[in-house]
Structures are given as structure tokens and as C-alpha cells.
Chain A
Amino acid sequence: MALAIRFALFGCTNRPFFHIVVMEKRRAQRSGKIKEMIGSYDPMPNQDNQKLVAVDFQKLQKWLGFGAVPTKHVAELLGLGGFYPIHPMSYIKAKRKRTLMEKQVADMQAKEETQETAAIQVNEDTQPDSTEDASQ
């Protein structure tokens, strides 16, 4: 079995909270077989719009020395924190989100434009044909 530095999901319904723990990779997270807890990650932003991550870096380095391997998501988080280089998936996710946002913005703008043109057309239909009179 592989020793991993991973998240263990605690908290309750609709309120996730992760402990950053050292345990066997494939074990159930609440089985109680955690070797050591070395931090926490709160994925829900607080009043100041912050997500709090606490890591005991000394213990982390010790377990890395023992051969523990961080999982993908822990490695991503540590990359964002500056301990590791930024994970490629962070860049990819960011790019995907940006593309999605841009697409959504473009869609909304297109929608607004079509709505505007539809409104103008409706106005023209209901009003008397002043342009036709003017041209004649």
C-alpha cells in the first residue's frame, strides 16, 4: 500500500471540511487509520472571502522524506501555496474556467443584442411607416 498525503473529508452535509492527513492511499478516509494529521483545508470561503489552509510544513517534509506521496489535489493546493511549483492541472482548470466565462459572457451579449434588435423591430412594426412617407 502506498503512503499518501491526502485529503480526508470531514464536516457534515453541505459543509465539507478537509483534513490534510498522512495515510494509506486506498484506505477509507474515516476508517480511523490516519497516521498523522498535518493540516486542514476549508473549501468554503469565509466572511472575508478567504479559504483557509493550514499546513504543518515541518511534518510534511518529514513524511515526504519517509516516501509519502501527495495526491493530485493536495499537490495542486501546495502548488498554489508556493511549496511546490504550480500544478499543470491548476493552469488547465484556470484556462477552462476562463474559456467558460468568456463563452458565457459572449452568449449573454449575443442574447442582449438579439433582444435589442427584436425590440427595435417590434417598435417599427407598431409605429406608422414614417420612413416610407419620407422617401416618397
Chain B
Amino acid sequence: MAASMKCAWARCLSTILLNSTKHRCQISQPLYASCSNITGDSGNDEIIFRKAEGEGGTDQTRQEAGPADDTKKHRRDPGKAFTDVRVQKILLRLTGLDLDKVYEYRAAKGAGVAKVALMSDQQLKKVYESASYKALRKLQMPPVLGAREPIDEVLSEDPELEGLNTSKLVFIDISQRVPLKKRTIVVREPNGTLRKASWEERDVTLQKYFPQSGRKIGLPRMFQQDNLECMLDDGKHEYILNRACSQFEIDDPEYIRVTQRTYEHIDGNGKFEDLRSTRHFGPMIFYFTYYKKIDKLLVAFLEEESLEDSLDLVKLYHIVHPSCKSAEKVASMPDATPLEIIRAFAEMDATQKSLVQQAIQTYEKECDSTGSTQLRR
């Protein structure tokens, strides 16, 4: 069942990507060698994509799919919104598939040398298709989740053991074939309490006994606040995000801090295109949408003159925040053009209204000058 679901989903993803009008595969381009060095998947979680009950904003869909805007519970759990099928589709479309970027040479262990081969057009087409399917794996988005709840379970209190040890005793179960998240790790404190190990203790102990490549024990110095700022100023956004993905669990508060700081820095400098066609573009877009900060992003899309991307972004906003004013207005006008939808958003929900409206005006002028108001590219 799970396997067939995966296949169906892979086919769905590939159709979306291959038909994405943002980046068409051009058959006459040479194919570069694939590098299997992109840092591996951090968690072992399967993302269960939930089907929305309909494409429209019905009440049922609202309850199931989108988070209510300001309740604390949903603030802490963006995961529910992220795993919505409609959200995933839009994020994938926006990410795009630039084979040259995905298969770019990176200096790393196991990186291969470029191969040159002589092929017929048909063979090349086949190779291109298989490369695109493989690229889907590299574009797997690390899920955006809320911070994990701290572990606070005491198994036993034995004050009569006070004085036996001056250090903690950490017990880990090293039985075979147990998933990392289910491994039992307990700690006997010097005062005699037996409790479950905290998340930090778990991460460190598991890394000692079941080391994962690309992870260090403890926080790498790169992720300390000052060093992180240096790296961000150097423009190493993708590197930071890749390393964070391999170092931390997705729901680790440290991971959330590092990624959110990186996204904010990108927002401040307007360097959204750095992450285009990488696995981090989707989560970044989702972060801005979830926390209602899409204005600069929208302006960037409009400046690029991609109406489709801008429309996708606003649609995503409406899915994630279905009770916002512009969503309700758009639901009441079924025949709205893309520009009208974006204008509705700019009027009602944009936090930097004037910026967005100006960008829309500039876009309209450009369109008029080139004589076309239809969807471009």
C-alpha cells in the first residue's frame, strides 16, 4: 500500500515538474555528471500527505487542511499545513527543476568527474528523463514542523540511592533493528531519580552509538549566533541549510532557529533566487506564507515578471490562511484574473501594501509595453 502510494506520488511530482513552465528541459543542452553528494535525508520520517476534501475553500476543508490564523496550537505546528497536498503541489511548482543547478558540481567526498558520452537524440531524451526523476529525490523538501515538545517523564524516584554516584548513569538500548526515534534512553540521576533522557541527551547519545554521517556531537560552531551571521553575510545560505538538515532533526528547536534566521536574512537581502530549484525553496516559501511575510517575495516575483509564480504564492497564502479577508473575497469572484487576485491580496492582506501595489503597477506597465496581459512563460 505504502509502496504504491509512493509510486503514484512520484509520478505526480514528476508530471508537475516536467510540465512546469518555469524551467523547461531543453534537449539540446549537454548533461552534466550527477553528484550524489548532497547531504542525505536527516530524518527517517515518511511524510504522509493528506488529501484535502476539495479544491475550493469549503468549511470542511478549512477545518481539516488550513490552520486557523492566530491560535497558539497551530502556531506551534506548521506541519499540518505543510503536509497538505495542495500546498505541496504549489511549493513544487514554485521550486522548479533546473537540471544544471541540481546537478551542479560540488566539492565533496564521492563527487564524480564529469562524463562525456556520445548519444543519439533518443538516448539523450531517455537519459534526461531519468535524470529528472532522480532530481526529484534531490528536491525532496525537509518538512517544516513545530518545535518538539520537551521530554519530561520520570520513571521512578529512589531518594535512598542518594550518594551512590556523583555522576549520571545513561542507559541506552542497543538492540538491533529498532528505529532511532524509538530507542529507549534513560538516565539515573545522582539523587536517585530514573527519568527518560531529554531530546538533547538523546541526540548526543544516539550519535555516539549510532553515528550518522555529516553529524557532529554537540552544536557545531558554525551554528553559534555570531558565526552564523558571518556565514550569512558571506552569502552561504544553501550551505547552511544543507548542513542544518544533516546535523539536526527537523523538529529540533536549533534547526528551526537556524533555518528561520537564514530565511529572514534572505528576505532582508532579497536573495530568493539563490535557493530556487533546491530542496530549501519550498520550506522557505512556506515559512514566509505561514508567518505572513510574503510581501517582499511577491514583489520579487512580480519584478521577474512571472505572473504564474505570484499567483501561486497568493493561492498558497489563501490555502494556509483560509479565513483571511482576500481569500474570502476571491472565493466570491470565481472568474477573477490572476492580476485581480493579486491586487485583492495587496489591498486586504499585505503588510507592506504600498510596496506590493507599486510592484503590481510596474508589472502592468511592462505588460502593456510588450503588448500582452496573459500568463507569461
Chain A residues close to B by CB (< 8 Å): 39, 45, 48-59, 77, 80-82, 86, 90-91, 93-95, 97-98, 101
List of A residues within 8 angstroms of B161 by Cβ:
80, 86, 90-91, 94
Name, among B162, B164, B204, the residue most crowded by chain A CB atoms within 10 Å (CB to CB).
B164
List of B residues within 8 angstroms of A53 by Cβ:
169-172
Say which one of B173-181, B329-337, B367-375 lies at the interface with A.
B173-181
Residue among A50, A57, A93 making CB contact with B170, cutoff 8 Å: A50
| Residues B160 and A52 in contact, CB atoms below 8 Å apart | no
Indicate the size class of the contact surface on chain B: 20 to 34
Q: Could you list 14 A-B pairs, sorted by A, with CB under 8 Å? A: A50-B187, A51-B170, A52-B172, A53-B169, A53-B172, A55-B172, A56-B175, A57-B184, A80-B194, A81-B171, A90-B161, A94-B160, A95-B163, A97-B163
**A56 in contact with B173 given A51-B168, A80-B188 (CB within 8 Å):** yes
Residue among A50, A97, A98 making CB contact with B168, cutoff 8 Å: A50
Residue among B160, B167, B173 making CB contact with A50, cutoff 8 Å: B167
Q: Which residue of B lies closest to A49 (CB)?
A: B167
Rounded to whole Å, the gap between the CB of A33 and the closest CB of chain B is 22
CA distance A101 to B165 in the complex (A): 12
CA distance A95 to B204 in the complex (A): 32
CA distance A81 to B174 in the complex (A): 14
List of A residues within 8 angstroms of B158 by Cβ:
86
List of B residues within 8 angstroms of A58 by Cβ:
175-176
List of A residues within 8 angstroms of B187 by Cβ:
50
List of A residues within 8 angstroms of B155 by Cβ:
82
Rounded to whole Å, the gap between the CB of B223 and the closest CB of chain A is 19
| Residues B176 and A56 in contact, CB atoms below 8 Å apart | yes
CA distance A57 to B172 in the complex (A): 9
**A54 in contact with B160 given A45-B167, A49-B168, A59-B175 (CB within 8 Å):** no
Rounded to whole Å, the gap between the CB of B161 and the closest CB of chain A is 5
CA distance A98 to B192 in the complex (A): 13
List of A residues within 8 angstroms of B192 by Cβ:
94
CA distance A57 to B176 in the complex (A): 10
**A82 in contact with B194 given A54-B209, A101-B163 (CB within 8 Å):** yes
List of B residues within 8 angstroms of A86 by Cβ:
158, 161
CB of B156 closer than 8 Å to a CB of A: yes
List of A residues within 8 angstroms of B188 by Cβ:
80-82
CA distance A42 to B165 in the complex (A): 14
CA distance A56 to B209 in the complex (A): 12
CA distance A81 to B189 in the complex (A): 11
List of A residues within 8 angstroms of B186 by Cβ:
81-82
Q: Which residue of A lies closest to B156 (CB)?
A: A82
| Residues A54 and B162 in contact, CB atoms below 8 Å apart | no
